[in-house]
Amino acid sequence: MGGISLRNVEKTYAPGSRAAVKVIHGVNAEIGNGEFVVIVGPSGCGKSTLLRMVAGLEEITGGEISIGGRVVNELEPAERDIAMVFQNYALYPHMSVYDNMAYGLKIAKVPKPQIDERVQKAARILELSTLLDRKPRQLSGGQRQRVAMGRAIVRQPAVFLFDEPLSNLDAKLRAQTRLEIQKLHRELNITSLFVTHDQVEAMTLAQRMIVLNGGRMEQFGTPEEVYARPATTFVAGFIGAPPMNLLAGSSDGNHFIVDGARLPLAQPAPRTGALTLGLRPEHAEMRTSPDGGWPLVVEVVETLGAERLVYGRLGASLFTLRIDGMLPAPAHGTTIWMRPAPERLHWFDSEGRRVV
């Protein structure tokens, strides 16, 4: 069993000194056996630090980490039954693909027939069987990353830990390797913790995702939950491309007032007073007449084939509207009218926490 339990996990550098810096603030998460969980957040938010604490490469300064029901706080990485795949492939340049994948097992004195069986099986899963005699320099970036994953697979660990493994690949290879990782997880069903700053990677790979911000867990849920009901304005603005529109203003119940614009609401706001209204670009439709809509002064239109992104202003606030690519592009400086889907409005309080 390879479930991971994080109980009030904290990390402080130079604890007890004037230079003390707390970088992980009480993270709690229960990751089930065989689950694929992605840790996502902007650069510097503590993603890799949290992963390295699970791996035993960083000491924790508070809380408890369990793997497979066993507390691992004091265990060395080699004793935790984990395998890591890093951003840097870290392959031995003088060794063949086969030897790179087999090296860890040889060091562990696994019998040769068992080594060969594991390497051949991993090579079949990752479509590396025809490349086993090649050196790393003869491989593409995507193939090198698959070798690094194969080296982890042959270990047969309880947990896979991925630290931004796709960052060195171009966009096409990243998409292809994401599919390979999904297939790999379905076949092996091993608990996996995957770190990325790319929210598209997180949304496509995760069964559940941990959204980190400044070392704090903002939300833990499925991609669908996080996208449809973001817990905070940070999550709302981070998850989604383009991100959710967030308008800081106030409500009198039936209207939302933002930067002088008085926007009618088809359904009353959850309360009056200061609020932040969130609306995703795809959850409003363009209209030809006011008819209870919101006026958007067009500044820029991006044509992306199947869709267009209309950037404009509601009052003084920036707003992005996604429309069908077959619709005519509105001209710069014109005012268009849009009607939001009332059930798609998100409301947050002055501290950025979800109200409705």
Distance CA 121, CA 329 (A): 53
Supply the pLDDT for residue 229: 96
Please check whether residue 344 lies inside any domain of the structure.
Answer: yes
Residues 221 and 286 in one domain: no
Q: Is 220 helix (H, G, I), strand (E, B) or coil?
A: strand
Please check whether residue 225 lies inside any domain of the structure.
Answer: yes
CATH of the domain at 126: 3.40.50.300
Do residues 157 and 189 make contact, with C-beta atoms less than 8 angstroms apart? Answer: no
Residues 76 and 182 in one domain: yes
Dihedral angle, C-alpha 216, 219, 223, 229, nearest 10 °: -140
Which residue, among 95, 73, 77, 66, has the nearest Cα to 155 in the 3D structure? Answer: 77
Residues 282 and 213 in one domain: no
Please check whether residue 356 lies inside any domain of the structure.
Answer: no
**Domain stops at, among 190, 206, 238:** 238
Please check whether residue 272 lies inside any domain of the structure.
Answer: yes
Which residue, among 97, 88, 173, has the nearest Cα to 135 in the 3D structure? Answer: 97
Phi, psi of 215 (to 5 degrees): 80, 5
What domain range is 271 assigned to?
245-348
Question: What domain count does the chain have?
Answer: 2
Residues 116 and 136 in one domain: yes
Do residues 102 and 150 make contact, with C-beta atoms less than 8 angstroms apart? Answer: no
Residues 9 and 135 in one domain: yes
Q: Two tokens at 182?
A: 């999904």
Supply the pLDDT for residue 280: 97
Supply the pLDDT for residue 141: 86
Residues 34 and 72 in one domain: yes
Distance CA 83, CA 154 (A): 9
Residues 118 and 219 in one domain: yes
Residues 171 and 295 in one domain: no
**Domain stops at, among 211, 238, 265:** 238
**Domain stops at, among 238, 259, 284:** 238
Residues 334 and 219 in one domain: no
Please check whether residue 72 lies inside any domain of the structure.
Answer: yes
Distance CA 327, CA 329 (A): 6
CATH of the domain at 299: 2.40.50.140
- The terminus-to-terminus CA distance of the chain in angstroms comes to 38
Strands of the sheet containing 335-340, edge to edge, are 284-287, 335-340, 294-303, 307-314, 317-324
Give 276's contacts (C-beta < 8 A, 6+ positions apart): 233, 246, 247, 248, 249, 347, 348, 349, 350, 352
Residues 258 and 225 in one domain: no
Phi, psi of 139 (to 5 degrees): -110, 155
Residues 198 and 215 in one domain: yes
Count H helices, E strands: the chain? 8, 20
Please check whether residue 353 lies inside any domain of the structure.
Answer: no
Please check whether residue 85 lies inside any domain of the structure.
Answer: yes
Please check whether residue 355 lies inside any domain of the structure.
Answer: no
- Strand 216-221 relative to strand 208-213: parallel, antiparallel, unpaired? antiparallel
Residues 84 and 192 in one domain: yes
Supply the pLDDT for residue 1: 61
pTM: 0.91
pLDDT averaged over 10-residue windows placed end to end, the chain, 356 residues: 92 91 96 96 94 95 95 94 88 94 92 94 91 94 90 92 88 85 90 94 95 97 96 96 94 90 90 95 87 89 94 92 92 92 94 92
Supply the pLDDT for residue 147: 93
Q: Label each residue of 239-259 as H, E or C.
A: CCCCCCEEEEEEECCCEEEEC
